[in-house]
Chain A
């Protein structure tokens, strides 16, 4: 109960509007959230695939059923986007199926993006909760299962041009009926997928999670009665709505526009544009995606998702610190033109939906950030930075066992008007965990050789961006493939209010030394040990986000590789883009710059070039006189339009190990 809660409603209005005293209203709100927290813990602990238990790619929710459909009254995120999509998906699925056709013990299954799912590998379960013969609530959960069939293991087929090449599409279908499993549905799912064992385990865990949620909810209903719990759900939804409307109302009325570019669709060479205009009147907002590109040939589009999940960006600006529920989306109306990149039509594939999502969320972040509120945030990496490895194990005792694994690493958030951006942080549409290296390597023939920050890769600013992880993964199996959900290699992520731009993304292959070592320092690897796969490089193939040329003489012309063959001893090196800086770096506290140099995150050279701060290396102190002089000169050039902060990135990139070792 923070101050915001008390400001939008009082104990008196709560009593008159919901017939609940304040403490009971809050207790029921807590009880609904706790039901989903309990479901979350249940799913994490009982799932079989590491996508759920380690990476936390799931969502669990309680929906209150009313005259006009269902409203998502409580949600616990694994991954943030489910907290936005499940409101709509639940209504699409249940409107089509018909509430009147559901009975106690029924559970529906669906994974179809044209019915609100995020993509085929995300399986969604819907279970009605009856209380004294009345369908009162719907519980839902969703998670990304390891495999959903189709030509590519894991379902991320960047080269698919139709959804038939992506995986199995399942419209709303009963998976339990009257409390009994529907064998035909389960068989369909197990016999058309590569990992039936994990899938069965995850389906059981999802189903068990709904049962656990049901018993928590029943306890709440038993204690307070149906009317009170329903009123508590309404209170919870209205509270989120009122807080959001209050934040919107504080902004001036008007229309704002913005755009974002995605590198390519993995098939063509052209960048893909997202465009939106936001019209704000009073306490309501209309978002219109008109002007976005047509859906490309490649698998780069989304269906319904961006009508809701891109609102993560606006929530971050407007009311970040309140539990999400559907009430927070009531003030928004979103238009997504059919056939565009944000509302693709069948039979297109949306294998690479995550890049569209990350950019759409950033688009909202930057547009809402310009509307004159208190909070401004520079754009983030706009990068999934998730990598799929798989193959046949050849380690002793596991020969011939198929394996597949999703590896997540941290991207970077942009600086804000009050803080540095968060380092090692996945894009805002998710909130997923990285892999525990020791478990990952136990279960899969890979060795994580590096997961460090890259020196100088954070965008300069009064508040700089966060650092992202540079990832080095060695293959231990005889043969395997790698696929990469990676973007923002072609265009830098811009700074805000005079802040510098971030680093761009890259893919390299590292040549190991004969004794097995991977020569690295500060996240850097000498160019002599690197083979460029894709990115914005200089004439030597080294990263140069500012002046380099996109995929100049690189092995591939896209970062969006699918099924890239690798073999034993190969080391893939991924450099993730970073977000933008906020405010001029010449205004950054020299002590903060010194601390970054002292901690070996920023080189003395970048401190000088980007921040105008001169560090005495021997004593690790700021040379105040030299800094003052340098900053004055740079400020004069900055106001004359003759200087802007350099794009983040270590320069010049070391060519040899001897050069790197000296750092």
Chain B
């Protein structure tokens, strides 16, 4: 009888896994090194750690960093773009605008795609053809020219081709013909067209197609490898891949339909875990989520129990995915980030990471450059004999030697450097959290900082201190928190279709017909992924505005038959929405519908947390594993207690400074704060 739900989150340095028993909700966890050359090896290693028969795994949820790594490092395939004559510079124009904010008056700013292209201008080939706004052909497609340009791309070694032509959302004929030619001349190339999201607006649509063309080959290669390896060990159950909208899709549907929607699957899952925490585990429901991994830090907000979403997820300014996604910001600094001097001689953390191999110098596997982890080892916060439950040996000497290479030129001691970069890293993360807090105009005093990821617990309280946040929550499985988020994520799907017309002219029958059609697609989609119809929640919406306007507002349309009365009620709701949102309504103006959507999802799973035994305010004697000298200010050593988290009981209180070690990560309880353990083993740190 299969009896486990497996969740595996691949980060830049470590691969975290959780194994949830479907019988009693108990959770096992493990952490192995990420294998960057092929992340699926690390995934298999993690499964191996659990020592369960693959046939006993009922379900496997998975997030990875394959696509985001390829994008951030611009290490995707050589990608080409076929565009309409006269629009070759569209991506570099980026709609002309400069970002509102710090860059607005800065003449040294450069549009990201111009600075670091996904598609080099040389590989953007504009071809003679033109459709106009009724979908008719204004200038015929010059197939000879297309052949010539495709041959050029082939000769240049292009591996993936995006095709996006003007007005193709109305008439795909030219794109289809170009696609046939590409497949004929470049049979091995990966090809994407506007059909992936056939909506009006050439800039965003082109980026949607390009992002998918750029990540598609990388993701599909990876997922295919993963599927083969899983088959190889005898697992033939479902593999659910976390999507950027906070849902999951099966591996087959991900490969075939929308590989680019997995760009940020790991960080997204962390926010789902935070939502579940707010829903089921802790009384707080406003979180600043800080997920510090080995390579990067991901930041998001959960406001009133809901992860904040963005309609226009951007890779970088102006490079929009075109699909709604959870709002996660990333910075390139994590526990494994290299400490170095830049060309101006100033201290910098990252963006390069020591990774898992060779890893920080203290791992003793040949890493010579100091990483953040080495700084923590030098400070004594990370004790070699406790690291990874003692499974891996750490060398404090190697850490000090590596730190010396940077500290020397700065005329600092390695210890001063270590404490300095610890502060610098906290400040850098705080700058990013305060940016999202600033943009969403929330008061940090209303929020608690949820610190997770392998390195989150050691930095969380220090970041909270400078951010003006007075409480920190460290969940029971900080390293595997994103993996847990994946386990609770529901299957989710959405279909949209462009339907432009006045709602009164469309009428109930046509709306019913389109909704029914979309709903059948959604139902088929989700049932083919294993969801039963009675488990499914379906929502339908009309996107619309007053005639003459441009921005389409998504307003839910109630279930049940579409009648004249239902439309009338929806219109009343539409006017009320305008009045509430925009400060006015124009009831005499006709309402135009632009898009119809139907979305469906399964129920989210329950967060697998279990109560721990209760104890008194003072931890049991066996919880105190060590006392060690620790230096937090670069000069003075003080002896502080190290507790083992597993031996703590609900109700225990610990005065900072202290360290709570949980085998996979290190919680630093800073001076002037008190940690307490709640009923589920979460560590709550209150700052004074």
A212 touches B202 (CB 8 A): no
A45 and B132 alpha carbons, distance in the complex (Å): 26
**B93→A40 contact, CB < 8 A:** no
Closest Cβ of chain B to A326, distance in Å, is: 15
Q: Do residues B100 and A76 form an inter-chain contact, with CB atoms below 8 A?
A: yes
Interchain CB contact under 8 A, B89 and A453: yes
**Assuming the A-B contacts A201-B549, A431-B97, are A31 and B441 also in contact, with contact meaning beta carbons closer than 8 angstroms in the complex?**
yes
**B85 contacts A520, CB within 8 Å?**
yes
* Complex alpha-carbon distance, A171 and B40, angstroms: 70
B659–chain A nearest beta-carbon distance, Å: 27
Instruction: Check A452–B87 contact: CB distance below 8 A.
Output: yes
Q: Contact mask B323-336 → A, CB, 8 Å, 1/0? A: 00000000000000
The reply to whether the CB of B565 lies closer than 8 angstroms to some CB of chain A is no
Set of chain B residues within 8 Å of A56, measured between Cβ atoms: 97
Centre residue among A42, A48, A439 by max chain B CB count within 10 A:
A48
Which chain A positions have C-beta within 8 A of B132?
A: 441, 447, 476
B344 beta carbon closer than 8 Å to chain A: no
Q: Smallest distance from the beta carbon of A583 to chain B beta carbons, Å?
A: 14
Residues in B541-588 with C-beta less than 8 Å from chain A:
546, 548-551, 553, 578, 581-584, 586
Known: A320-B107, A437-B166. Is A452-B88 also a contact (CB below 8 A)?
yes
A413 in contact with B107 (CB, 8 Å): yes
Question: What is the distance, in angstroms, from A60's C-beta to the closest C-beta of chain B?
Answer: 11
Does A472 lie at the interface of the complex (its beta carbon under 8 Å from any beta carbon of B)? yes
Whether A168 sits at the interface, judged by CB under 8 Å, is: no
B546 x A48 contact (CB < 8 A): yes
Residues in A whose Cβ lies below 8 Å from that of B90 = 451
Q: Does A658 count as interface, using CB distance less than 8 angstroms?
A: no
Residues 434-471 of A at the B interface (beta carbon under 8 Å):
434, 436-439, 441-442, 447-453, 467, 469
Residue of A nearest to B126 (CB): A452
Q: Which of B86, B548, B583 contacts A197 (CB 8 A)?
A: B548
- Known pairs A204-B584, A208-B583, A212-B582; A434 contacts B96 (CB<8 A): yes
CA distance A224 to B546 in the complex (A): 37
A515 within 8 A of B: yes
Q: Is the CB of B549 within 8 A of A438?
A: no
* Contact between chains at B86 and A449 (CB < 8 Å): yes
A312 within 8 A of B: yes
Complex-state Cα separation, A213 to B438, whole angstroms: 17
Pair B102/A438 contact, Cβ less than 8 Å: no
Q: How far is the CA of A212 from the CA of B579 in the complex (A)?
A: 10
Question: What 0/1 pattern do residues 110 to 128 of B give for CB contact below 8 A with A?
Answer: 1100100000111000101
Which residues of chain A from 273 to 291 have any CB-CB distance to chain B below 8 Å in the complex?
Answer: none
Which residues on the B side are within 8 Å of A419 (C-beta)?
107-108, 110
Q: Mark B242-273, 1 if CB is under 8 A from A, else 0.
A: 00000000000000000000000000000000
Instruction: Flag whether A603 is at the interface (Cβ < 8 A).
Output: no
Within 180-228 of B, Cβ neighbours of A (below 8 Å) are at: 200-203
Interface SS majority for chain A: mixed
Q: Does A377 sit at the interface, judged by CB under 8 A?
A: yes
Distance from B253 Cβ to chain A, minimum over Cβ atoms (Å): 29
Give the Cβ gap from B589 to chain A, nearest Cβ, in Å: 8
Closest beta carbon of chain B to A361's beta carbon, Å: 11
The interface residues of chain B lying within 8 Å CB-to-CB of A53 are 549-551
CB within 8 A of A438: which of B95, B139, B201? B201
- Chain A residues closer than 8 Å to B133, beta-carbon distance: 438, 441-442
Smallest beta-carbon distance A141→chain B, Å: 11
Is B345's beta carbon under 8 Å from chain A? no
- B121 surroundings in chain A (CB, below 8 A): 599-601
Check B105 against A315 for contact (C-beta < 8 Å). yes
- Cβ contact within 8 Å between B167 and A438: yes
Counting CB contacts under 8 A, is B506 at the interface?
no
Assembled-state Cα–Cα distance A439/B106 (Å):
30
A130 at the interface (CB under 8 A from B): no
Q: How distant is the Cα of A617 from the Cα of B96 in the complex, in angstroms?
A: 32
Interface residues of A in 532-565 (CB under 8 A from B): none
Instruction: Report the minimal beta-carbon distance from B546 to chain A, rounded to whole angstroms.
Output: 7
Contact between B105 and A50 (Cβ–Cβ < 8 Å)?
A: no
Contact between A472 and B105 (Cβ–Cβ < 8 Å)?
no
Closest residue of chain B to A40 (Cβ to Cβ) is B100
The CA of A488 and the CA of B200, in the complex, are separated in Å by 35
In the assembled complex, A184 has its CB within 8 A of some CB on chain B: no
Contacts of B25 in A (CB 8 A): none
Say if the beta carbon of A132 comes within 8 Å of chain B. no
Contact of A46 among B93, B104, B140, B578 (CB under 8 A): B578
A151-159, A293-301, A420-428, A632-640 - the one binding chain B: A420-428
Whether A34 sits at the interface, judged by CB under 8 Å, is yes
| CA distance in complex: A315, B104 (Å) | 11
**Least distance between A621 CB and chain B CB atoms (Å):** 14
Does B431 lie within 8 Å of A437, measured CB to CB?
Answer: no
> Judging by beta carbons under 8 Å apart, are B583 and A207 in contact?
yes
Give chain B nearest CB distance to A52 CB in angstroms.
9
Instruction: Produce 1/0 per residue, B165-177, CB < 8 A to A.
Output: 0110100000000
Considering only CB atoms, which chain A residue lies closest to B578 in the complex?
Answer: A46
26 contacts between A and B (CB under 8 A): A23-B444, A33-B438, A34-B439, A46-B581, A46-B584, A47-B550, A48-B546, A56-B97, A77-B100, A201-B589, A205-B582, A421-B107, A424-B89, A428-B107, A433-B96, A436-B203, A437-B202, A439-B200, A439-B201, A442-B200, A469-B89, A515-B140, A518-B85, A520-B86, A599-B121, A600-B121
Q: Interface of A with B (CB < 8 Å)? A: 1-2, 23, 26-27, 30-31, 33-35, 37-38, 40, 42, 44-48, 50, 53-54, 56, 76-77, 80, 197-198, 201, 204-205, 207-212, 223, 312, 315-316, 320-324, 375, 377, 395, 408-410, 413-414, 416, 418-426, 428, 431-434, 436-439, 441-442, 447-453, 467, 469, 472, 476, 515-518, 520, 598-601
Q: Which 9 A-B pairs have the closest CB atoms?
A: A208-B583, A211-B583, A34-B441, A450-B86, A23-B468, A208-B584, A46-B582, A45-B551, A599-B121
New A-B pairs, 19, CB < 8 Å, besides A26-B434, A37-B100, A80-B105: A2-B431, A35-B441, A37-B441, A42-B581, A46-B584, A316-B105, A316-B107, A395-B134, A421-B107, A424-B96, A425-B98, A436-B201, A436-B202, A438-B200, A441-B167, A449-B86, A520-B85, A599-B120, A600-B122
